[in-house]
Amino acid sequence: MEHGMKSFKNSYINEGMSVAQLLRALCAVSFLLGASLPAVDLPPELPLWEKPPVDPPIRTDVKEQGRFVEPQPRSPSGSNRVFSSVSSPTYSIHSPPHPNGVGLVICPGGGFRDVWLDREGHDLAIWLKEHHVTSLVLKYRTFAASDKSPANTWSSVLRAAEEDARQAVRVLRKRASALQLDPRRIGICGFSAGGQLALKCALYAEPRPPEGEVTAVPDFAGLFYPGIPDAGVWTFSAGLGRLDRINPGGNGTDLPPGPHALGR
């Protein structure tokens, strides 16, 4: 495994890597992270929004909960925290000493009830930092545990999480100069439920942003065993393993131009 990881690094990762190479790297590293790096300190969590969003309505009276699950052997972060009932979204930025200009939002999975912040967030970010990629790990809003309130429907939760993912893209793009990023090389990726968020940000039109805001449309996307919204159907280019089209609710929608990667 270690030899395979070294060969993989030499083949795909360097300071001048293209976005397409990065996406190939993301697909492979999602399976190889267990043999990567020793545990390291994690960057602080920062508030995602300057002012807490009020729409869609998300319950804020349920205290955020966290639990610790035994991490995989040689996990890069050495941690495996799982958060639920998230009503105050946060982000953490992993900034390498010599950034290559690519920025990536990472959306962990958890079925919109949990956020597996380390295993599907920080572990990947730590690996990418070693290879000059700047990443933002997002802890987005989730359904409140044991919540049966009609004010906190799944529709509201999904819209809130999607808004958080778009805001994370804006954060990276607004800080492009300070982080030495190319604002035209800002992407998003996600695992499971986080993959659904990445897909929606790449596929669906951006709601009109506040005046003066940068765009939240990502330049590329990586989807790792993503949840498919609205019972959608994947369509692949023959022999290429590339996602070209999704069919949510029976209405085919072409993906926007740009590199995309799918890990299954």
pLDDT at 10 over 90: no
Over residues 192-215, the mean pLDDT reads 86
Specify the number of domains making up the chain. Answer: 1
Tokens of 217: 């449309």
Contact 103, 185 (CB under 8 A): yes
Query: What element of type H or E holds 164?
Result: helix 154-174
Closest-CA residue to 194 (of 186, 202, 206)? 202
Predicted confidence band at 6 (pLDDT cuts at 50, 70, 90)? very low
How far apart CA 29 and CA 127 sit, in angstroms, is 8
How far apart CA 260 and CA 257 sit, in angstroms, is 9
Give the residue numbers spanning the domain of 173. 2-263
Predicted confidence band at 205 (pLDDT cuts at 50, 70, 90)? confident
Q: Taking the CA of residue 111 as centre, how many other CA atoms within 13 Å lie in the half-sphere pointing to its CB?
A: 6
Q: Which residues contact 130 (CB under 8 A, 6 or more apart)?
A: 37, 96
Over residues 28-44, the mean pLDDT reads 60
8-22, 33-47, 111-125 — which one is most confidently predicted on average?
Answer: 111-125
CA 237 to chain centre: 24
pLDDT at 219 over 50: yes
- Lowest-pLDDT range, 149-163, 209-223, 233-247? 233-247
The CATH number linked to 73 is 3.40.50
pLDDT in tens, 114-147: 999 999 999 999 999 999 999 999 999 998 876 6
Predicted confidence band at 18 (pLDDT cuts at 50, 70, 90)? low
Query: What predicted TM-score, i.e. pTM, was given to this entire model?
Result: 0.78
pLDDT in tens, 66-111: 999 999 888 999 999 999 999 999 999 999 999 999 999 999 999 9
pLDDT at 187 over 50: yes
Instruction: State the pLDDT at residue 212.
Output: 78
Instruction: State the pLDDT at residue 151.
Output: 55
